[in-house]
Each structure stands twice: as structure tokens, then as C-alpha cells.
């Protein structure tokens, strides 16, 4: 039986949501994977695929780790996160 206060979401549902940084309004990318503590069954971080441009022409995929504590809101279409501009990888 599930607790009524707990939200259950499939990874495939999360992967379709845009990840937006509320610090600057920038679209970061999409969830590629999750970091999970299997001993207690909690999500520790989102692994987000971003695209960086080299010399303005070629795109290269990079992964960005967003800790669960940096997530503000998970909505129907977007996930709002707080990422300081000086540090793109949150530890």
C-alpha cells in the first residue's frame, strides 16, 4: 500500500520534462539517468544531458549532475532547479 503523501513518478515521465535553471531561466537539458542510494531507496541526483558548442559549430553532449537538494519543483512539463552560474556541477 502506498502512502498518500508520496509522489510516484516513472523515469520515462521525468525524461520528457525540460530542466530549467531558475537562477537565469536557461534550459539545461533532459534527464539521462538518476543517481540512487539503493540502501535506502532515495534519489540523490539527476544526471542531465546537456549540449555544449565547440567553436560555435559542433555540439558535444556533456553530463551535468544536479543534486536532489538543488531541485525546486517538479511540475507537469518542467523541472525547476537552482544552479549557481559559477558552478555548473553541484556536489
Q: Which domains does the chain have, with CATH numbers?
A: 11-81 (2.30.30.240)
Q: Give pTM, 2 decimals.
A: 0.73
Band (1; pLDDT cuts 50, 70, 90)? very low
For residue 56, pLDDT over 90 is answered with no
Q: What is the mean pLDDT of the chain?
A: 80
* pLDDT tens digits, one per residue of 72-87: 999 889 999 999 764 4
Q: What sign has the CA pseudo-torsion 24, 76, 37, 47?
A: negative
For residue 88, pLDDT over 70 is answered with no
Pairing mode, strands 78-81 and 18-21: parallel
Amino acid at each position: 500500500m502506498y502512502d498518500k503523501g508520496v509522489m510516484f513518478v516513472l523515469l520515462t515521465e521525468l525524461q520528457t520534462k525540460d530542466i530549467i535553471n531558475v537562477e537565469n531561466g536557461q534550459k539545461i537539458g533532459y534527464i539521462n539517468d538518476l543517481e540512487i542510494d539503493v540502501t535506502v531507496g532515495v534519489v540523490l541526483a539527476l544526471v542531465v544531458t546537456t549540449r555544449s558548442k565547440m567553436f560555435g559549430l559542433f555540439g558535444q553532449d556533456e553530463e551535468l549532475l544536479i543534486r536532489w537538494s538543488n531541485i525546486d519543483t517538479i511540475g507537469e512539463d518542467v523541472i525547476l532547479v537552482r544552479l549557481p552560474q559559477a558552478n555548473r556541477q553541484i556536489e
